[in-house]
Every structure is written in structure tokens, then in C-alpha cells.
């Protein structure tokens, strides 16, 4: 099936076609679906107008025809965004604690099959992640996540102080949460889903206004910074939290801008409830990065491989073993618990744990 014959949801027809995502001078562009048009720069779902991000459309791995659209097989159809209000639960989440594996100037989402094309990234989780990674190559391989079933790939731009690369130490906290009020409607990620959160080309104001913003860069008593603090107390760490969109259109595992198949929840009119938009009705877990970098003192030489602090963004490529992910989502998110990486809530020991002492599904 080609771009000229594929019928797409209306929201995707205005998808941003991108430029200069990773500080590379070469600009990759793609024609709009079915129109043969050149580059366009409209906002992607859940992002800000004026942002653009490089689109790399070439045949590789999961995208056999090179059009940038990777269909979900089968697609999820017939879903209406849930507007139900279940019994209130303060928590509906679990953790995926994953340590750094390696760094490389690769990006298997934006520049698949093109090693060395991107700026430097720090990878967590799957040990094999590189420019050639595909759904099948990641699935079931070795991981630094506490749960061996989580072979997902997580990555972000590398952080430097001067010319020294600063890597997070030990397992980093990656939350899987309910982003919608009806936490009972959340279902597991489809195999092979991938997306980018944030944009390396965003301005400081756009970073602050991004739907995934939590508290910005922080250390010691300094927080809500869009760029790095000028100084961090001795012995402190530089921290950042950022949340991903959690509503999926049910049709594609990826799109050319790596965003349009996902959207952030919206507020239901007349309420304070978060619901998925009708264009993206499928509620998935909300991924939240909570990163800690061991750097302190004078921060004037601190930078990201992608630029200033407000260029922060991250990538997620799902490669969970399906049964385990479903068990964790059902028990912790749908079940309204605050779970550790075993799927255990210490405030509700009577509910038990999903995984055994080896962090495996019994």
C-alpha cells in the first residue's frame, strides 16, 4: 500500500514534516499522504505549533515501504474514549527501573538503519539497541530493567559537563501511569509501538508549555527551570521528570513525525476529568521519565548533545513480553495501586505481587 492509496485519519493529514531534528545539516522530507506535496510544518498531535522535527522516511525493518507509517496489525477500532469516573485512587502506576546500557549517535526511530546519523544518545533498558533495532530484534533480548520481560528501549540525549559525558548511575525510575481519569480503561502498549516525547528544536517557552512538563530541571532547592540551574549544591544531583502522551489512535505503531499517532489527554468539558480525545481514543499507560544525573557545582559547562537544557526529549520503543506487561497494567494501573517493579504495593500487601523474587511472571 502506498501513500497515495492509504486513507488516513483527518488529524494525520496535517502532520508536521520535519527538519533538523538531531542537529544534522541534511534535511529529510517526505510528501504528504496522497498529495505529492513538499514539506509542511503544522503541529502534530499533542505538540506545539511551530515545532518541527526531522522526518526520515526510508525502507528499513518495520517500515518495509519507507513511507514512515507502520500500521498496527490488527488495528484497534470501535473504541470510544471513556468518560467514566471510577472509585478514586490516588495512585495507579508501576515502576520500570532500568539502568543505562551504552551511548551512541544512533536513533532507531528517527534514523532507522543509519548508524551515526543522530546526536549522541544515552540508552537504557534493552542492551542491543542501535540504529538497526526493530520490533523483532528487541523483543526477548537482554535488558538492564529489573523485570527481564521489559526489553523495551528507552533513550535520551546524552548530557555533558564540558567534554565529559555524565551518565545516570544505577536503575532510573520510569513510571507507567494512568494519564486519564478512568484508570480502569488503560490497556497495555501494542507490540512495537514507538514515539518521541518533546522536541530538540523547541524553544525555552515551548519546553515550559509542553504537555509533558512536570517540574523542569531541578537540583537542591532550585526547580521549575527550563534550562540548567547555574549552580547545584555539592552532593546533589540534576533531576528531570517528563511525561509522555498516553492516548493512541489505534492505527499506527509509528508515523513520519513519530508523534501524530499519540496525543495527550484533554479535559472533559464541565469537569476536571482527563479523557482521551476522539481522534486518539485508546488509553495506554503514560510513561514518565524521572532521570537523575550525578553532576553538581558550577553548571555553566553542562549541556545536552541536542543543545540547551530545553532541548530535552526522549524516545520509547515498546518491547515488553506481552503477558507480563498486561499483568502489570491490570494489577497496578487498572487496579489502582502504587507498585514497585515487581508489581507490589507495600501499602496494600494483601493484593500481592505480580512478579516473583526474580522479577518474572510465575
pLDDT, tens digit, 9 for 90 and up, residues 163-189: 999 999 999 999 999 999 999 999 999
Residue 1 lies in a domain: no
Query: Beta-carbon neighbour count of residue 59 at 10 Å?
Result: 11
| Residue 192: band (very low, low, confident or very high) from pLDDT cuts 50, 70, 90 | very high
Number of domains in the chain: 1
Instruction: State residue 27's pLDDT score.
Output: 27
User: At residue 38, does pLDDT exceed 80?
Assistant: no
Torsion 98-103-106-110 (CA) sign: positive
Residue 34 lies in a domain: no
Q: What is the pTM of this model?
A: 0.86
Residue 124 lies in a domain: yes
Q: What is the spatial distance between Cα 336 and Cα 92, in angstroms, rounded to a whole number?
A: 4
User: At residue 156, does pLDDT exceed 80?
Assistant: yes
Residue 329 lies in a domain: yes
Residue 166 lies in a domain: yes
Which residue segment(s) compose the domain that 174 sits in? 58-351
Backbone angles phi, psi at 303, to 5 degrees: -155, 165
Q: What does the buried/exposed string (b/e) look like for 98-107 if buried means 16 or more CB atoms within 10 Å of the residue's CB?
A: bbbbbbbbbb
Dihedral-angle region of residue 216 (phi above 0 means left; psi in -120 to 50 means alpha; beta otherwise): left
Half-sphere exposure of 327 (CA within 13 A, CB side): 21
| Residue 57: band (very low, low, confident or very high) from pLDDT cuts 50, 70, 90 | low
Residues 6+ apart with CB under 8 A from 164: none
Bridge partners of 154?
Answer: 124, 316
Segment 10-29 shows an average pLDDT of 32
Residue 37 lies in a domain: no
* Percent of the chain with pLDDT strictly greater than 90: 83
pLDDT, tens digit, 9 for 90 and up, residues 203-213: 999 999 999 99
Q: What does the buried/exposed string (b/e) look like for 297-311 if buried means 16 or more CB atoms within 10 Å of the residue's CB?
A: eebeebbbbbebbbb
Q: What is the spatial distance between Cα 341 and Cα 305, in angstroms, rounded to a whole number?
A: 30
Instruction: State residue 24's pLDDT score.
Output: 32
Q: What is the spatial distance between Cα 181 and Cα 203, in angstroms, rounded to a whole number?
A: 30
Segment 309-338 shows an average pLDDT of 98
Compute the chain's Rg from CA coordinates: 20
Q: What is the spatial distance between Cα 22 and Cα 306, in angstroms, rounded to a whole number?
A: 6
- Lowest-pLDDT range of 132-136, 269-273, 349-353: 269-273
3 state SS of 124? strand
Segment 29-36 shows an average pLDDT of 30
User: At residue 318, does pLDDT exceed 60?
Assistant: yes
Instruction: State residue 306's pLDDT score.
Output: 98
347 burial (CB, 10 Å; 0-12 / 13-18 / 19+) is exposed
Q: Average pLDDT, whole number, for the chain?
A: 87
pLDDT, tens digit, 9 for 90 and up, residues 70-112: 999 999 999 999 999 999 999 999 999 999 999 999 999 999 9
Instruction: State residue 61's pLDDT score.
Output: 87
Residue 100 lies in a domain: yes
Query: Beta-carbon neighbour count of residue 344 at 10 Å?
Result: 19
Residue 291 lies in a domain: yes
Higher local confidence (pLDDT), 2 or 144: 144
237 alpha carbon, distance to own chain's centre: 23
Instruction: State residue 58's pLDDT score.
Output: 73
Amino acid at each position: 500500500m502506498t501513500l497515495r492509496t492509504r486513507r488516513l485519519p483527518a488529524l494525520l493529514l496535517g502532520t508536521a514534516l520535519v527538519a533538523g531534528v538531531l542537529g544534522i545539516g541534511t534535511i529529510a522530507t517526505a510528501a504528504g499522504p496522497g498529495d505529492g506535496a513538499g514539506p509542511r510544518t503544522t503541529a502534530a498531535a499533542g505538540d506545539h505549533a511551530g515545532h518541527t522535527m526531522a522526518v526520515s522516511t526510508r525502507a528499513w525493518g518495520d517500515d518495509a515501504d519507507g513511507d514512515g507509517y507502520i500500521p498496527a496489525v490488527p488495528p484497534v477500532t470501535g473504541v470510544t474514549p471513556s468518560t467514566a469516573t471510577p472509585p478514586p485512587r490516588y495512585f495507579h502506576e508501576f515502576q520500570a527501573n532500568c539502568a543505562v546500557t551504552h551511548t551512541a549517535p544512533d536513533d532507531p526511530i528517527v534514523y532507522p538503519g543509519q548508524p551515526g546519523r543522530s546526536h549522541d544518545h544515552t540508552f537504557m533498558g534493552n542492551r542491543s539497541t542501535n540504529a538497526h533495532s526493530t520490533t523483532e530484534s528487541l523483543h526477548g533480548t537482554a535488558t538492564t530493567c529489573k523485570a527481564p520481560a521489559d526489553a523495551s528501549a528507552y533513550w535520551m540525549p546524552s548530557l555533558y559537563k564540558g567534554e565529559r559525558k555524565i551518565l545516570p548511575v544505577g536503575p532510573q525510575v520510569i513510571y507507567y501511569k494512568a494519564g486519564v481519569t478512568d484508570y480502569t480503561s488503560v490497556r497495555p502498549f501494542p507490540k512495537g509501538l514507538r514515539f518521541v516525547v518533546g522536541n530538540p528544536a523547541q524553544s525555552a517557552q515551548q519546553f515550559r508549555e509542553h504537555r509533558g512538563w512536570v517540574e523542569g530541571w531541578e537540583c537542591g532547592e532550585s526547580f521549575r527551570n527550563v534550562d540548567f540551574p547555574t549552580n547545584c549544591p555539592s552532593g546533589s544531583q540534576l533531576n528531570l521528570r517528563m511525561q509522555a502522551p498516553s492516548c493512541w489512535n489505534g492505527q499506527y505503531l509509528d508515523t513520519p513525525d513519530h508523534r501524530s499517532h499519540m496525543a495527550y489527554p484533554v479535559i472533559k468539558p464541565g469537569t476536571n476529568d482527563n479523557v482521551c480525545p476522539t481522534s486518539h481514543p485508546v488509553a495506554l499507560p503514560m510513561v514518565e521519565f524521572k532521570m537523575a544525573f550525578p553532576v553538581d557545582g558550577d553548571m555553566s559547562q553542562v549541556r545536552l548533545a541536542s543543545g540547551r537544557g530545553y532541548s530535552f526529549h526522549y524516545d520509547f520503543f515498546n518491547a515488553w513480553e506481552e503477558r507480563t506487561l498486561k499483568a502489570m497494567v491490570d494489577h497496578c494501573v487498572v487496579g489502582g495501586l502504587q507498585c514497585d517493579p515487581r508489581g507490589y504495593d507495600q501499602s496494600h500487601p494483601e493484593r500481592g505481587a505480580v512478579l516473583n523474587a526474580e522479577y518474572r511472571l510465575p
